[in-house]
Structure 1
Amino acid sequence: MVKKFVLAFGLMSLLFPTLAFADDPTTPQLASAVNAVWVMLAAVLVIFMQAGFALLEAGSTRMKNAGHVAGKTILTFGICAIAFWAIGFGLAFGDGNSFFGETGFFVSGLEDQAKAAFSSLAAADVPISIKFLFQLAFAGVSLAIAWGGFAERAKLSVYFIFSILFTVVIYPIVAHWVWGGGWLAQLGMQDFAGSTVVHLQGATAALVATILLKPRIGKYNKDKTVNLIPGHNQVLSVLGVIILWIGWFGFNAGSTVSAMGDGFFGYVALTTNMAAAAGGVAALVISWIYFGKADIPSMLNGVLAALVAITAACAFVDTWAAIVIGAVSGILTFFTAQWFEKAGIDDPIFAFSVHGIAGIWGTLSTGLFATPELAEKVAIGGPGLFYGGGFHQLGIQALGVFGAFAFVIVLSFIILGIVKATVGLRVTEEEEIIGLDLSEHGSYGYPEQMKKANQSGVSV
C-alpha cells in the first residue's frame, strides 16, 4: 500500500511539477508561477472591460448608432494592440530618459529583451509577454475613454488615425513619466493604477474631440437651452457598468503584480469596491434631491467616477478614506456633468466629468489621505496632508495632474485639428440624421426595430 502511494505521488509530481515543492510556499518557482497567473488573470479582466465600455456607450446613445458604437470598440482595441506592441510599450516602459523610453520596440516576448530593455518593470517577477498584455489592457481602456467625446458624429476614418496616434504619441509618454521611471516617478507621484495615466489622459482627449466636433444635431436650441438626448437602453448601460466594476478588480488589484506574501491585492480590491459603492449611492441621492427623481444614469456615472478616483489611491489610503473619496467623486461628477452640458459642451457619455474630473480628484486625494504605513509599503511618495505629510505630496500630485493635462490637451488639439483641416472629423448632416450604423456600415444594429421606426416616422 505504501509503495503504491509513493508511486502515485511520484507520478503526480511528474504530471504537476508544482506539487514537488508545494510544501514550501516561498519556493521562487512557485511564487513566480502564481504571480504570472494572477497578472494574466488581471489582464483578462481589464481587457474584458472593453465589453463594459461597448455596452455602456451603446446603451447611452441612440439606437441608430448602437451597432457602430459597439463595433468600433473591437476595431480600436485591435489598432491599439498593434500600435502599442510596435512602439507604445517601448516609449512607455523602455529604458531611456525622463520623458520617454528608447528601447523595447516591437516586443518579442522573450526574456532576453526584457532584461535588456525594460528595467522599470524588473521588480515584477512575471514574464514580459504577460507584462505587455497587462499594460496593453490599460492603454486600451484609456483609448476607449477618449471615444466618448466622438460618439454619434465622428467619421469612422478618424478612429483609425487617432487610435494610432493616441497609442504611440500621447498615452505612452505620460505613462513613462509616472510608471516608466520618468520625471514624475522620480518625484514620487502616487498613481497606483492610473487615475491620471489612464483616465485623465483619455478624458482630456475626449474633451478636445467634443469641442472640435461641436454638439450633436438637436442637442441645443437657438436660445442655448438644452434638449435631452437619452440613451436607447438603460439595461445595457447598467450591465456595462457591472462588467466595468468587476473588471476594475483586475485594474487596481492586478496592479500589485503579485498574489504572494500578505495578500495586499485583497486590500486594494477592498478599497476599490467600497469607493464604487459610495460613489453610486451618493450620486443617486444627489440626483434625487436635484431632479426630484432618482436618476439611474447619474448613479451609473457615480459608480464609474468613484472607480476612476480610487484607481490612484487604492493602495495608499484607509478604507474609510476610500468611501469618502468615492462619495465625493459621485457628487463632483453629477454637478460637473450638469455644468458642462449647460455650457454648450455636448459630451454624450460625460467622459470628462466621469474620467477627467474624477481622475483629477482621485490623484489629488492621495496627497490628502495617503497613510505613512501604506506609502512606505508601496514605496512610492510619502504621507498626505491629513497624516502629517504637509503639502509636499499634494504638490507633487497637483504637478502631475497639471503636466499630464497640459500635454494631452495640446497634443490632442494639434492632432485632431490637423485631421479636421484635412480629412475632416464629422460625418455630414444627412449621415448623422440617418445614423452611423447605416451611413458608415450599411446596416443597423437593430434592423427590425429601425425598420418599424422608420415606417412610423419615429425619431431614434
Structure 2
Amino acid sequence: MRSRVVLLTMIIVLSLSTVGWAAEPTAKSNAVAIDTMWTLLAAFLVFFMQAGFAMVESGFTRAKNAGNIIMKNLMDFSLGSLIYWICGFAFMFGAGNTFIGTNGFFLSGSFEHLGLSIPLSAYWIFQAVFAATAATIVSGAMAERTKYSGYLIYSAVITGIIYPVVGHWIWGGGWLSGMVDFAGSTVVHSVGGWAALAGALVLGPRIGKYNEDGSINAMPGHNLLMAALGVFILWFGWFGFNPGSTVAGTDLSIASIAVTTNLSAAAGATLAMITSWFKYGKADVSMTLNGALAGLVGITAGCAAVNNYGAVAIGALSGVLIVFAVEFIDHLHIDDPVGAVAVHGVCGSFGTMLVGFFATEGGLLYGGGAALLMTQIKGVVVVAIWTFVTAYILFRTIDAVIGLRVSREEELEGLDITEHGSVSYPDFVPLHWKSVKVENGTKSE
C-alpha cells in the first residue's frame, strides 16, 4: 500500500513538473508573438503615413501637380523598399564600425548583435517604413518644379546611404549611440528636413513666388480639406511611429508613449493657432495644421523620456516655433510649398534638443545637469551638417548630369501633364488639353 502511495506521489510530482516546464516556453512564445504582432501593426500604421504625406503635399500645392506628388510618394516607398533591402538596412544595422554597417546586404548573414526578440523580417519592415518616411519628407519642399527622373535618383540615394548612415550612428551602435532619439526626431525627421533644404536651395523658387523687390507672392494650395485629411492620417500613423518603436507589445510603456505623443500634437496645433491668430489677426488653417505636425515631430525624440507635462511643453514650444520658422524661411527666399524644412528640420532638431531639458532622467530641469543637453546638441548639429552637405552635393550632381528642374514651360503647364501625360482633375482642365497627347515630353494636337 505504501509503495503505491509513493508511486502515485511521484507520478503527480512529475506531471506537475512537466506542466511547469511546458508553461514556461509557452509564455515566452506568447510574448514573442505579441511583440511581433505589435511591431507589424505599428509598421502598417507608419506605412499608412505615406498616404498622409501624399494628401498634405497635394493639398498644399496646386492642382496641376497633384499627380506628380502622388507618384513621388508612391515611388519613395516602392523604390525605397528595394534599396533598403539591398543595402540600406545593412549600412544602418549591420555589424561594422562606428560610422557604418558593413554586412547584411539583402538581409543575408547574421544580425544576432541586435539582440532582437522578434523575427528579423518584422524588424526590417518596421525600419523600412521609417526609411521611406525620411525620403518622402523632401517631396513637398521640392514640389511643382522638380524633374521626376532626378527625384527618383535622390530617393534611392537617401534611402540607401544618407539616412542609413545617420541611423547607424544613433540606433545601430555608432558613435552617437548615447543620444536620446527614441523614434527619430533627428534620425528620420531632421534628415528629411535638411535634405529638403538642400533640394529647395539647388532648385530655386517656383516661377512667380518672389518679386524683384523682394516681396512674396502667396501661392495657395488647391485643397485645404485634402491637406487636413493628410494631417489626421499622419497623426493617426504616429501612434505606430512612436509607441511602435518599442518593438514590443509586452512593453506597457506603449500606453504612456501614446499619451505623450497625443498631448504634444494637441499642444502644437493649439499654440500654432493662437500664435497665428495674434500675428495675422486670423486663426490660420495651414499654420494650425503644420502646428499639429510640429508637435508630433518635436515629441518623437523624447516621447519615452518625458512626462506628460514635458510633452505639452515640447508641443507648445514647437507650435509657436513653426509659425516663425515658416515665415523666416520664406523671407530668405527659400521656396518650400508645404513647410517641410520648418516642420521636420527645424522642429525635429528643436524637439531633440528639448529632451536635454525635459527628460525625467538626466534632463536639465530634473537635476540631471547639462551633460544630456550637450549630447543632444552635438547629435543635432552633426546630423544637420552630414545631411545637408551630402544632399546638397547629390542635388548639384543630379542637376549637372541630367538636370534637376523642369523647363519654364513645363512648370507653368504643370508636372502632371508634362511629366506623366495625365491630369488629376480633367474636368477643371482647359478644353484644349483634352486633345493633347504627350510624346517624349512635348505636346502635339
Partner of 1:52: 52
Conserved? CA contact 1:88–1:168, under 8 Å: yes
Corresponding residue of 1:336: 325
Partner of 2:168: 176
Shift of the 316–102 alpha-carbon distance from structure 1 to 2, 3 Å rule, reads same
* 2:358 alignment counterpart: 369
Instruction: Say if 1:104 and 1:118, in contact at 8 Å, map to a contact too.
Output: no
- Whole-angstrom CA distance in 2 between matches of 1:154 and 1:401: 28
Q: Which amino acid aligns with 2:213?
A: D
The answer on 1:248 being equivalent to 2:238 is: yes
The aligned residue for residue 420 of structure 1 is 399
- Higher deviation after alignment, 140-149 or 189-198: 140-149
- Deviation, 1:24, is 7.7
Equivalent residue, structure 1, for 2:12: none
Label 1:64 to 1:402 Cα distance change in 2 as closer, same or farther (>3 A). Answer: same
SS at match of 1:184: coil
Residue 239 (structure 1) shift: 0.3
Moved over 2 A (4+): 20-26, 451-455
How far apart are 1:398 and its partner, in Å?
Answer: 0.5
Residue 350 (structure 1) shift: 0.8
Supply the distance in 1 between the matched residues of 2:255 and 2:39 (Cα, whole angstroms). Answer: 14
3-state SS of 1:196 partner: helix
In structure 2, distance between residues paired with 1:26 and 1:143: 40
CA distance in 2 between counterparts of 1:24 and 1:99 reads 40
Residue 353 of structure 1 aligns with an amino acid whose one-letter code is A
Residue 74 (str. 1) matches residue 70 (str. 2): no
3-state SS of paired residue (1:27): helix
Report matched runs for 1:343-422 at 5 Å.
343-372=332-361, 383-422=362-401
Deviations 1:166-202 (A, max 9, x none): 11220000000000000000xx100000000000000
1:273-323 Cα shifts (integer Å, max 9, x gaps): 000000001001111111111111000100001100100010000101100
User: Equivalences for 1:88-107 in 2 at 5 Å?
Assistant: 88-107=88-107
- 1:449 deviation in Å? 1.2
Aligned partner letter, 1:251: F
Rounded to whole Å, the distance in 1 between the matches of 2:72 and 2:161 is: 21
Q: Give 1:452 deviation, angstroms.
A: 6.1
RMSD in angstroms over aligned alpha carbons? 1.8
Amino acid of the structure 2 residue aligned with 1:100: I
For residues 302 and 366 of structure 2, the distance between their equivalents in structure 1, rounded to whole angstroms, comes to 14
Match of 2:145 in 1: 153
Amino acid in structure 2 at the alignment position of 1:117: F
Q: 1:84 to 1:118 in 2, by over 3 A?
A: farther
In 2, Cα distance between equivalents of 1:252 and 1:24: 30
Per-residue CA deviations over 1:329-386 (Å, capped at 9, x if unaligned) read: 01101101011111111111111100011011110011111112xxxxxxxxxx1111
Deviation, structure 1 residue 221: 1.0
| 1:70-124: CA deviation from partner (whole Å, max 9, x where unpaired) | 122111211100000000000000011000001111015xxxx4xx2351x31x3
Q: Residue 97 and residue 52 in structure 1: after superposition, are their counterparts in 2 closer, same or farther (change >3 A)?
A: same
CA distance in 2, matches of 1:131, 1:192: 15
Matches of 1:26 and 1:247 in 2, distance apart?
A: 32
Query: 5+ residue gaps in structure 1?
Result: 1-19, 373-382, 456-460
- 1:377 corresponds to: none
Q: Counterparts of 1:180 and 1:280 in 2: how far apart (Å)?
A: 33
Within the candidate set 177, 184, 195, 1:205 is matched to 195
Ranges in structure 2 where 5+ consecutive residues have no aligned partner: 1-19, 435-445
Within the candidate set 291, 296, 317, 2:306 is matched to 317
For 1:86 and 1:182, locate their aligned partners in 2 and report how far apart those are by CA, in whole Å: 21
Write the distance in 2 (CA, Å) between the matches of 1:26 and 1:246: 33
Letter in 2 for 1:71: M
Q: TM-score, normalised by structure 1?
A: 0.88
Count of residue pairs the alignment pairs up: 415
Task: Give secondary structure in 2 for the equivalent of 1:244.
Answer: helix
Per-residue deviation, residues 126-146 of structure 1 (Å, max 9, x unmatched): 110010000001000000112
Change (3 A) 1:453 1:405: farther
Once the two structures are overlaid, the 10-residue window that deviates more, 444-453 or 248-257, is 444-453
Contact map agreement 1:171 1:197 (CA 8 A) in 2? yes
Q: Distance in 2 between matches of 1:446 and 1:72?
A: 18
Distance 1:192 1:78 in 2: 26
Secondary structure of the equivalent of 2:336? Answer: coil
Q: How far off is 1:454 after superposition?
A: 7.6
| TM-score (normalised: structure 2) | 0.91
Residues 21 and 304 of structure 1: is their aligned pair in 2 closer, same or farther, counting only changes over 3 Å? farther
Query: Residues of 2 paired with 1:389 and 1:278: CA distance?
Result: 25
Structure 1 residue identity aligned to 2:269: G
Determine the C-alpha separation between the residues in 1 that align with 2:21 and 2:227.
47
Is the 8 Å Cα contact of residues 36 and 119 (structure 2) preserved in structure 1? yes
Task: Indicate if the aligned counterparts of 1:76 and 1:159 stay in contact, CA closer than 8 A.
Answer: no
**Could you tell me how far apart the structure 2 residues matched to 1:428 and 1:410 are?**
26
Secondary structure class of the residue paired with 1:208: helix
Paired letter, 2:169:
W
**Alpha-carbon contact 1:215-1:345 (below 8 Å) kept:** yes
Q: Show the counterpart of 1:30.
A: 30
What amino acid is aligned across from residue 426 of structure 1 in structure 2? R
Whole-Å separation in 1 of the counterparts to 2:416 and 2:269: 32
The C-alpha deviation readout for 1:135-158, integer Å capped at 9, x for no partner, is 001000000112222110000101
Name the SS of the counterpart of 2:312 in structure 1.
helix
Structure 1 residue corresponding to 2:185, chosen from 162, 175, 195: 195
Alignment CA distance shift 1:423-1:388 (3 Å): same
Q: Determine which of 413, 417, 423 is the counterpart of 1:434.
A: 413
In 1: Cα distance, 2:40 partner to 2:211 partner: 50
- Counting aligned pairs with the same residue, the percent is 47
CA distance in 2, matches of 1:444, 1:419: 27
Map 1:295-306 → 2, pairs under 5 A: 295-306=284-295
